[in-house]
Amino acid sequence: MIRKTIKKEIKELFRDGRVRISIFIVLLLLGVAVWISSRQYQNTNQDYAAARLSEREVWDNQGEKNPHSAAHYGTYAFKPKYPLSLVDQGVDKYAGTSIFLEAHKRNEAQFSAATDQTGLSRFGDLTPDFILLFIMPLFIVLLGYNSFTKERELGTHSLLKSAGARGWKIVLGKWIALFLPVLAITTSLLLLAGIVLSNLPDYGVFQWSSLVAMGLVYLLYYAVFTNLVLWVSHWAKRSGISLVVSLSLWIVACLAAPKAASNIAEARHPYPTRQEFAANVLKDKEAGLDGHNPWNKEAKLLEEQVLAEHGVDSLHQLPFNFNAYRMQKGEEHEAEVYFKQYNYLKEQYQKQSGTYRSLALLSPFLPARFLSMGIAHTDYATHWDFSDAAENYRIATQKFLNDNTAQNTKYGERGYKASADFWKQLPAFDYDPPCLDKVLENNSSNLMILGMWTVLSFILLFISTKKI
């Protein structure tokens, strides 16, 4: 009975011209989206490689120069484009691609793609994640809204009952028949993406395991919609009612719930304004050591402490340049200030994420969205991790420069210049994103919620249709 039901449903699906047109349109959109994303991916990584090489050459070829002047001259940390961003671009469009690393200041990522776009971008981009998250559930609605209502309208429902067909077999047959086209399209897209990524230059380690994990997330997401659409079709008296209710579920789950969750999270845990953030940073800086001001209260205390540690009564008697040492301690204090203030921003982000997770019970879209971005390394968590890595590199760079001045000059000496080969001793900035296991661990609650949606929707479907 299950096999016959599957065969019957698939024949009816592909017999309908509207279904064939819908499948063609979805496949066409997916193909175009993958092609556009692959071109963007290649162009972005070519720019990334060129910018990284060019900036390193500029740093290495500064010539003889004072290390503190080089600290203010600064350098850049560039964020790479990861392979699965071809499938899910996440927040990369808005988060910025490079961070300027300079003395005394932690900067935010700049040059986001969104800043270069016109107002037309408000209508959305044609990307694989847009089709996977929004269009595919709508496709499921269009394929399955009349799965049960057509049986009642055509009178075949009574024939099935009189033939002694068991309800769960009918439901399972219809479920498989509806899910098979979705499975085929999703698998084709991910295989195409995997083939494209496998043949592109390696600007990031592409792992098939990550692509498979992303595919499983989307299939669970589609299983939930398949269950809900079939449940609505069984519950509704007419196909028209089933279509309206199913579309309403799609609107609520994919459009209304995410927007409401975003507004609620922002209202409950708002970020400080840029002016408030700058004022808080300035206040904390002024309360501590100023590496450029020898008359600063904390600077005088540091001077007394260092003299006591070395058993001397004059800064000239120290085996290193105290001015450079004081500047390094000032850098360390300012770094602590920035870590404190940015940690507050991360705490707000984590609280907002908690609000999202609590509201994910209203829509399977939210956990699927966060899991997809996390696996693709295009979520805010990865961006925060990159920013922290860049800041740690900035701090290490300042110590590298200040230590050179402290060890090669005496107190009060001016005009020192490091050799032209000194700059090459600084290791290049390199960032590795969290591995798949770590991503899944960090998103364990989203996995659990998506799993709950899947299990509960199956239970709802089979319990409500057991009397067929």
Residues of the domain holding 52: 2-464
What pLDDT, on a 0 to 100 scale, did the predictor assign at position 38? 80
Which of these, 399, 1, 446, 76, lies nearest to 261 by C-alpha position?
A: 446
Q: In what order do the strands lie in the sheet with 75-78?
A: 75-78, 98-102, 105-106
Using DSSP bridges, classify how beta strands 98-102 and 105-106 pair: parallel, antiparallel or unpaired.
antiparallel
Confidence of residue 223 (pLDDT cuts 50, 70, 90): very high
Burial class of residue 62 (count of CB atoms within 10 Å of its CB; 0-12, 13-18, 19+): middle
Backbone angles phi, psi at 102, to 5 degrees: -140, 170
What pLDDT, on a 0 to 100 scale, did the predictor assign at position 452? 94
Distance CA 146, CA 9 (A): 11
- pTM reported for the whole predicted model: 0.86
Check pLDDT > 70 for residue 389.
Answer: yes
Residue type, 23: I
Distance CA 261, CA 256 (A): 9
DSSP secondary structure string for all residues of 282-305 = HHHHHTS--TT-TTSHHHHHHHHH
What pLDDT, on a 0 to 100 scale, did the predictor assign at position 458? 92
In the chain, % of residues over pLDDT 90: 26
What pLDDT, on a 0 to 100 scale, did the predictor assign at position 41? 80
Look at the chain and report how many structural domains it folds into: 1
What pLDDT, on a 0 to 100 scale, did the predictor assign at position 321? 84
Residues near 131 by Cβ (< 8 Å), separated by ≥ 6?
26, 29, 30, 33
Check pLDDT > 60 for residue 8.
Answer: yes
Burial class of residue 28 (count of CB atoms within 10 Å of its CB; 0-12, 13-18, 19+): exposed
Check pLDDT > 60 for residue 122.
Answer: no
- Alpha carbon distances (Å) from 438 to 21, 279, 333, 430: 41, 35, 31, 19
CB distance 85 to 378 below 8 Å: yes
Rounded average pLDDT over 438-448: 91
Secondary structure class of 466 (helix, strand, coil):
coil
What pLDDT, on a 0 to 100 scale, did the predictor assign at position 118? 56
